[in-house]
Amino acid sequence: MNNTNNAMNVDDRIFVAGARGLVGSAIARHLQTAGFSNLLLPSRSEVDLADQSAVEAYFRTQQPSHVFLAAAKVGGILANNTYPADFIRSNMVIQDNVIDAARRHAVRKLVFLGSTCIYPKLAPQPIKEEYLLTGSLEPTNEWYAIAKIAGIKTCQAYRRQYGFDAISLMPTNLYGPEDNFDLESSHVMPAMMRKFHEAKISKAKEVVVWGTGTPRREFLHVDDLAGAAVHLMQHYSHEDIINVGVGKDISIAELAALVAEVVGFSGEIVYDTSKPDGTPRKLLDVSRLHAQNWRASINLRDGVADTYRWFLNYGPK
């Protein structure tokens, strides 16, 4: 199960694809804190991962030994519904370019970051890894999900055909520093945080939240995901995907109350039931992760408070 021959050494050249995003920046912070000093963290202007020749040139000149593939086009329900072609094509092109170049340039190991939207909309709860491809996807984000499933299958195919050590992690809903707080394209947690913050500033009487408030979601602080990704890069080597989450969920209504409390909004929370709820429940079975001797450590209230501090300092003004 474990191939420690491909583990990272502190002086290895480690490429974090998508290092300016939510996940990539957290992985870079974690590696730097752990003493890895030879990190490759290019911006999109330095290497466009959707450009095959640019990716090829980058791998040829930089020769990374390990890759964290955290680059992706991401967004919430509205963005996925509005730009389905962008979501399926951009993600498939980026991951194909990076995985193929990594294999051809003798990268020792690659970690591919997927998403729990790969699982069927009505999957049994909690969701086990083997539920992949056993039912229909949630229609509001199937384009992104299909691209991520293709990434998983690419990693498995390259392992089988070439012996390429690529592993695939499926994180639950993420939040934390460097999140996207744009109300048109953000996920539920940052969208709520910005709405409640602006309502507090403007002294609004109420905040409208999409849907009924009844769907349940699991939330993982991105710094916990980064810790898991580095741990599994060092200790896990198998074609089987592995869920990364906390194993506990919360209703959207409970989340709204928590975020409002942390932000300091004391008005009314109103639910617009004409808007879509998305998947009714999404809770991961994390027993495979726990068997690898790793567990999440940041509780939700502390994580929300940490994210709000970041938002106040660096978020949209």
Q: Is residue 139 part of a domain?
A: yes
Q: Is residue 155 part of a domain?
A: yes
pLDDT single digits (tens) 266-317: 999 999 999 988 778 889 999 999 999 999 999 999 999 999 999 999 988 7
Q: What is the pLDDT of residue 41?
A: 98
The whole-number average pLDDT for the span 93-116 is 98
pLDDT single digits (tens) 110-127: 999 999 999 998 999 999
Q: Is residue 304 part of a domain?
A: no
Q: What is the pLDDT of residue 180?
A: 87
Q: Does 76 score more than 80 pLDDT?
A: no
Q: Is residue 289 part of a domain?
A: yes
Cis bond upstream, residue 171 (ω within 30):
no
The whole-number average pLDDT for the span 164-172 is 98
The count of structural domains within the chain is 1
In the sheet with 242-244, reading across from the earlier edge strand, the strands are: 39-40, 14-17, 66-69, 109-113, 166-171, 242-244
Q: What is the pLDDT of residue 2?
A: 45
Coil vs helix vs strand at 207:
strand
Q: Has 82 been labeled as part of a binding site? A: no
**pLDDT level of residue 4 (50, 70, 90 thresholds):** low
Q: Is residue 66 part of a domain?
A: yes
Which helix (H) or strand (E) segment is 162 a member of?
A: helix 142-162
pLDDT single digits (tens) 180-226: 898 877 788 999 999 999 999 999 999 999 899 999 999 999 999 99
Coil vs helix vs strand at 209:
strand
Average pLDDT, the chain: 94
Q: Has 205 been labeled as part of a binding site? A: no
In sequence order, what are the residues at sequence separation of 6 or more whose Cβ sits closer than 8 angstroms to the Cβ of residue 315? 181, 194
Q: Has 116 been labeled as part of a binding site? A: yes
Q: Is residue 309 part of a domain?
A: no
Q: Has 247 been labeled as part of a binding site? A: no
Q: Is residue 150 part of a domain?
A: yes
Whole domain around residue 25: which residue ranges? 4-179+219-247+282-298
Sign (positive/negative) of CA torsion 277, 307, 283, 73?
A: positive
**Would you please indicate which residues are annotated as catalytic (active-site) residues?**
144
CATH number at residue 54: 3.40.50.720
**pLDDT level of residue 80 (50, 70, 90 thresholds):** confident
d(CA 293, CA 305): 27
Q: What is the pLDDT of residue 79?
A: 73
